[in-house]
Amino acid sequence: MTFRAMKVFGTSAAIGLMAASSVWATECIAPANPGGGWDFTCRQVGKILFDIGQVDQPVQVTNMAGAGGGLAFSTVVNERNTDEDLIIAASSATTTRLAQNAYGGATADQVRFVGAIGADPGVIVVAADSPFQTLGDLVEAVKADPGSVAFAGGSAAGGFDHMKPLQVLKAGGFTDITKVKYIGVDGGADAITQTVGGFTQAMTGDMSEIVGFIKSGEVRALAVLTEERVPGFEDIPTAKEQGFDVVAVNWRGLYVPKGISDEAFAKWAGRLQAVADSAEWKEAMAANGLAPFTKVGDDFQSWIDQVVADTTELSKEIGVIQ
């Protein structure tokens, strides 16, 4: 068991825990300041792990902001490589940055990705009065005249929002992706405004960003980039069912140090599956706008390997990396 005297996870009720020798069986690093997705993952997953009896002690959350997740990644690789009591929050941003060499030479295979248990689904959206009725209509328009369609997204060029339509277009047989017009703006709401205003023909973003605009009737979602239709939004077809084999979700999950044993990796996969199956996690997803997305253990690691490879290839094609 690892002994650490660091800040307490959760409410002040835990502060009196063995003042002389605070004992933590598990630590979760959130590679950012409090608030936001990575902090949410550590705190929610950590709390539920303890509440459902998957760990014997409350989980300590350590916020380690720096380099967009790079500081935490480097710390794990260089200082905590064999720590079986350590988990680290991750998301699609983690793998995108690793694929684009944003962590100073660090690579995704320096850790093990143990699982994802929820996601903010990717979407492709058009204005309510757009002539494009299906994802196929949009793809065919780009193939016929790439300059006629511009996408707006809340990430910079080369970021996750930019990658979504590129993946769809490649799946549709369009290979000259450097001709695809993309405008990066400051967040999903601005991207929708660009599209509703007619400055761009489509918006690429996440489900949580468009819910209000769908309800107000300002936009139509041509596709959700998930394996299956999203509960509560069953009228939005997936890209896959329209013939484009693309899944692009902003998943919420964890990685662990690479040097831990296969047995410890499997144990963490089982624990994460237990969280995913719990009523507590389903309530947390509903309260925070997340859709079901469960991949754990070797299945998740294999999926991540492919995601990183695809992102690297796309990033090279559009000149983000050499």
What is the structure's pLDDT at 17?
A: 36
Specify whether 100 is located in the same domain as 189: no
Name the H helices within 36-81: 37-51, 70-79
Looking at 225, 242, 259, which one is the last position of a domain?
242
Specify whether 89 is located in the same domain as 192: no
> In angstroms, how far is CA 174 from the centroid of its own chain?
25
Rounded Cα distance, 47 and 217, in Å: 38
Residue 322 lies in a domain: no
Specify whether 259 is located in the same domain as 282: yes
Here the CATH number for the domain that contains residue 133 is 3.40.190.10
Rounded Cα distance, 226 and 119, in Å: 9
Comparing CA positions, the residue from 255, 249, 198, 214 lying closest to residue 29 is: 255
Residue 295's CB: how many other CB atoms inside 10 A?
Answer: 24
Rounded Cα distance, 173 and 322, in Å: 23
Residue 176 lies in a domain: yes
Burial per residue of 256-293, b for 16 or more beta-carbon CB atoms within 10 angstroms, e otherwise: bbebbeeebbeebbebbbbbbebeebeebbeeeebbbb
Rounded Cα distance, 24 and 262, in Å: 22
Residue 4 lies in a domain: no
Specify whether 185 is located in the same domain as 217: yes
Number of domains composing the chain: 2
Q: What residues of the chain score a pLDDT lower than 50?
A: 1-22
Residue 6 lies in a domain: no
Specify whether 132 is located in the same domain as 110: no
Residue 194's CB: how many other CB atoms inside 10 A?
Answer: 21
What is the structure's pLDDT at 232?
A: 84
Residue 63 lies in a domain: yes
Specify whether 236 is located in the same domain as 300: no
- pTM of the entire structure? 0.83
What is the structure's pLDDT at 187?
A: 87
Indicate the SS3 state at residue 82. coil
Specify whether 147 is located in the same domain as 179: yes
Specify whether 196 is located in the same domain as 128: yes
Specify whether 108 is located in the same domain as 126: no
Comparing CA positions, the residue from 208, 166, 171 lying closest to residue 187 is: 208
Which one-letter amino acid corresponds to residue 84?
A: E
pLDDT per residue as tens digits for the range 222-272: 999 999 898 888 999 999 999 999 999 999 999 999 999 999 999 999 999
Which one-letter amino acid corresponds to residue 32?
A: A
Specify whether 96 is located in the same domain as 126: no
Specify whether 199 is located in the same domain as 108: no
Q: What domain range includes position 20?
A: 12-119+250-317
What is the structure's pLDDT at 92?
A: 94
- Determine contact, residues 241/228, Cβ cutoff 8 Å: no
Burial per residue of 35-62, b for 16 or more beta-carbon CB atoms within 10 angstroms, e otherwise: eebbbbbbbbbbbbbbebebbebbbbbb
Specify whether 216 is located in the same domain as 285: no
